[in-house]
Structure 1
Amino acid sequence: MTEHTTCVVVGGGPAGMVLGLLLARAGVEVTVLEKHGDFLRDFRGDTVHPSTLRLLDELGLGERFAALPQSRVEETAFPVEGGSTLVLADFRLLKTPHPYIAMVPQWDLLNLLADAGRAEAHFHLRMDTEVTDLIRESGRVAGVRYRTADGETGELRSELVVGCDGRWSVVRAGARLRPREFPVPIDVWWFRLPRHADDGATALVPSMRKGHFAAVIPREDYFQIAYLARKGLDARLRAEGIDRFRERIVAALPRFADRVGTLQSMDEVKHLDVRLNLLRRWHVEGALCIGDAAHAMSPIGGVGINLAVQDAVATARLLAGPLRRGRVTSGDLAKVNRRRRLPTVLVQTIQRAMHRGIVRPVIEGRRSGPPKAVVAILDRIPGVRFIPAYLIGIGFLAERAPAFARRSPRTPISRPTLERR
């Protein structure tokens, strides 16, 4: 079966859903293909930063987002000697409508965006539809081949295919685009621990003890824990078993010794193979990669989702016109690359420096806590906390919603019926 649309968006993550919504509001026929049957997956990026919160306001979705279950992180702090903490980034210093990071399960955000998209006549979301290959004609990408969960196969032809399908992108592979890989010293193991009523805390506080690095993310009903260790250790950690893993967590986070027993098996611990890479060129004729498909990010700073969303906004603004006219050139696609490459490179440069200067010395047991120079600067010049807050919360090039996509918060949105093919 062969079908036609103007733009195929591969991947129903934050970048794909935002891009689909914005293009549909521009009057572009857009079809988002998502290989899973729902959005329910644990330990995906759940940080929604001030720049993205402002974007949701501009799209008329701010009030609906605020009604979702969430917790708010107002600062990032480091533990220092004596049991106190030193604030690294104070988001309350930002002059923005939402001076905090909202911690919201990603599936809630994606369902909200799906609701908004379904209200647009030009938006189509197909779940349980996995892209298997790209269609090529006359030297350009002309669409995708797909397979549904029921085994049905088909072709969806289009003027443009946008890969928003993550670090292992099928679109990137099919377009023969190869990223430059940067060395990464760590992997991350995610899990949950109970949050007690008297725990309080609105800060994201990492723990740095010789040989152990962990980050505690306060969620509404639990703590989401990231344990960082040397890359390639997953098989060893699982072979050691849950008792030894609990010991590692207590060594990193002594204050949670009373609750690590809730971890019953290593099946509850999810491994993230951390990658940091960047495509030299984000496009070929008829296809474009954005978000993690173009640049996998380290979890350091939690900026991956928000950088991908900014990519999506820029893509919609730059390509809505060519898509409405029915012809997208390589020059049009190159504009997206030029617009978004520099902020991506700058963020990755900072992440690589943090790997070298902060994370690696801790996990190798050479230091506990952040570098003394960083501590001294933050202690003596409190105002400097604005800088990391701005870089994390807003970024180097925050994109604003284009005029065609803006809506009043009172615009009604009907509940979508997700299309399954």
Structure 2
Amino acid sequence: MVTVSRTTVAVVGGGPAGVVLGLLLARGGVDVRVVESHDDFLRDFRGDTVHASTIRLLDELGLGERFRALPQTRLDDLSLPRPDGSRVVLGEFSRLRPPYDHVAMVPQWDLLDLLTTAAREEPSFTISMGTAASGPIVEDGVVTGVHLQPRHGGGPEELRADVVVACDGRNSVLRTAAGLRPRCFRVGFDTWWFRLPRRAGDDGAALVPAFDGRDVLLAFPRRDHHQVAYFAPKGSDPALRAAGVAAFRATVARLRPDLADRVGAIRSMDDVHVLDVRLDRLRRWWWPGLLCIGDAAHAMSPAGGVGINLAVQDAVATATALVPALRRGLHGRALDPVLRAVQRRRTPPTVAVQAAQRLLHRVVFERAFAGRTAGGPPLLPVFLARWVPPARWAYARAVAFGPLPEHAPPWARR
């Protein structure tokens, strides 16, 4: 037997975009239900870089003190290595105005727990964990809800809503069912993620990629471990796994000799998780009654660690547009101009960030894979960073805040 339920906004996906959107809508007095297919948020190797734009938003929401109490490390600069072993500091976050003068590395599950705890303080917020969306409910060409299926028993459910927001990632069930197709950009590499122990004295204040021949490695500091990304040409996974864990450990030790004494923590290639890197964005983010945001609207490369922050900005823009419209009683096709406006606002920053990522792919990763890193990093950014001090501020500002950072609407502030 199918259970029928009702809410004003159904948010599919309990990642950063979905949970922030649910919190903001609830603070605006809108009935909102977030559905998440997993039972909890405890999943490794998800985006953990919380940029200054998101930290500022949390302060505006009155959550800054709770956020700063979470286990985290901070990045103070962005650097590139030179052939002589030194490094070139491209961006100095310390040049930005405190307290937004750094990038925080925070486990995503801790951030999501904080946000859902705050959202549950609002009477109009509900979240259903372990509940999967199987597709939209469509009536007369308008999405009027979503079909749900609990993963651990219980019958199917029809969740009716005035608007459905897809925050269910780059493999979004809802966007596929609505026939929304992304424009895809070529990405020539994939990423392999793994952990290594962190010890006292390890450098944790900067992000410095390591290059050797055609290999690229980047370590993100955590409080008790390094989250490490190995980059190689797309399609390399079968060859890497066939070569075995000993060869992979040797590659890591060669790229980061300072971590060579702990590569034994990679017990087998099962500890190395491959990410199929994609870069795409929808030509159209919405359908009557349905809006896609975050990775459901634009899959981002891990370059720059911007994914969480761009998704959060989408959520803020969506809530800012939706709450006044829903308070006026708009629903169905009457919301089309509102959904269109969200896409219109968030497309320019998405295009700008993806253009920057594609440039970074060419000047860093593709150069590395072609064996052209022996001469050091590209000359122009190095020249600017060394001889034009404001450039280090500009690089830091661009990474920390990105284009068109959103502010919390007045009714969501505490």
| C-alpha separation in 1, matches of 2:261 and 2:36 | 40
Q: Which residue does 1:51 correspond to in 2?
A: 53
| C-alpha separation in 1, matches of 2:373 and 2:49 | 28
The letter of the residue matching 1:244 is A
With normalisation by structure 1, the TM-score equals 0.95
Aligned ranges 1:98-109 → 2 under 5 Å: 98-109=100-111
- Of 168, 174, 199, 2:177 maps to 174
| C-alpha separation in 1, matches of 2:127 and 2:64 | 22
Identify which range, 47-56 or 143-152, moves more after superposition.
143-152
Offset of residue 96 of structure 1: 4.6
| C-alpha separation in 2, matches of 1:2 and 1:248 | 55
The letter of the residue matching 2:392 is R
| C-alpha separation in 1, matches of 2:98 and 2:188 | 35
- Of 73, 76, 101, 1:74 maps to 76
Offset of residue 11 of structure 1: 0.3
**Structure 2 residue 310 is the aligned partner of structure 1 residue 304:** no
Offset of residue 179 of structure 1: 0.3
| C-alpha separation in 1, matches of 2:114 and 2:384 | 41
Q: Which residue does 1:314 correspond to in 2?
A: 317
**Structure 2 residue 373 is the aligned partner of structure 1 residue 367:** yes
Identify which range, 338-347 or 373-382, moves more after superposition.
373-382
- Of 277, 288, 293, 2:296 maps to 293
The letter of the residue matching 2:40 is D
The letter of the residue matching 2:385 is L
- Of 386, 390, 398, 2:397 maps to 390
| C-alpha separation in 1, matches of 2:121 and 2:363 | 48
**Structure 2 residue 206 is the aligned partner of structure 1 residue 203:** yes
The letter of the residue matching 2:128 is R
Offset of residue 135 of structure 1: 0.3
Identify which range, 340-349 or 326-335, moves more after superposition.
326-335
Q: Which residue does 2:263 correspond to in 1?
A: 260
Q: Which residue does 1:399 correspond to in 2?
A: 406
The letter of the residue matching 1:348 is Q
Identify which range, 202-211 or 16-25, moves more after superposition.
202-211
Aligned ranges 1:160-239 → 2 under 5 Å: 160-239=163-242
- Secondary structure of the residue aligned to 1:308 is helix
Offset of residue 367 of structure 1: 2.1
| C-alpha separation in 2, matches of 1:201 and 1:105 | 15
| C-alpha separation in 1, matches of 2:169 and 2:101 | 28
Contact 1:6 1:326 in 2 (8 A): no
- Of 66, 69, 87, 1:85 maps to 87
Unaligned runs of 5+ in 2: none
- Secondary structure of the residue aligned to 2:89 is strand
Contact 1:228 1:363 in 2 (8 A): no
With normalisation by structure 2, the TM-score equals 0.96
| C-alpha separation in 1, matches of 2:300 and 2:389 | 28
Contact 2:74 2:204 in 1 (8 A): no
Unaligned runs of 5+ in 1: 408-421
| C-alpha separation in 1, matches of 2:269 and 2:236 | 13
| C-alpha separation in 1, matches of 2:213 and 2:357 | 21
Q: Which residue does 1:159 correspond to in 2?
A: 162
The letter of the residue matching 1:167 is R
Give the alignment's Cα RMSD to 1 decimal. Answer: 1.1
Offset of residue 261 of structure 1: 1.7
Offset of residue 149 of structure 1: 1.4
| C-alpha separation in 1, matches of 2:305 and 2:138 | 36
| C-alpha separation in 1, matches of 2:146 and 2:323 | 20
Q: Which residue does 1:38 correspond to in 2?
A: 40
Identify which range, 39-48 or 376-385, moves more after superposition.
376-385
| C-alpha separation in 2, matches of 1:361 and 1:225 | 20
Q: Could you tell me the percent identity over the aligned residues? A: 54
| C-alpha separation in 2, matches of 1:261 and 1:279 | 42
| C-alpha separation in 2, matches of 1:122 and 1:7 | 11
Offset of residue 140 of structure 1: 0.4
Q: Which residue does 1:414 correspond to in 2?
A: none
- Of 344, 353, 369, 1:347 maps to 353
| C-alpha separation in 2, matches of 1:234 and 1:338 | 38
* Structure 1 ranges of 4+ moved more than 4 A: none
The letter of the residue matching 2:84 is G
Offset of residue 392 of structure 1: 1.0
Q: Which residue does 2:363 correspond to in 1?
A: 357
Contact 1:205 1:217 in 2 (8 A): no
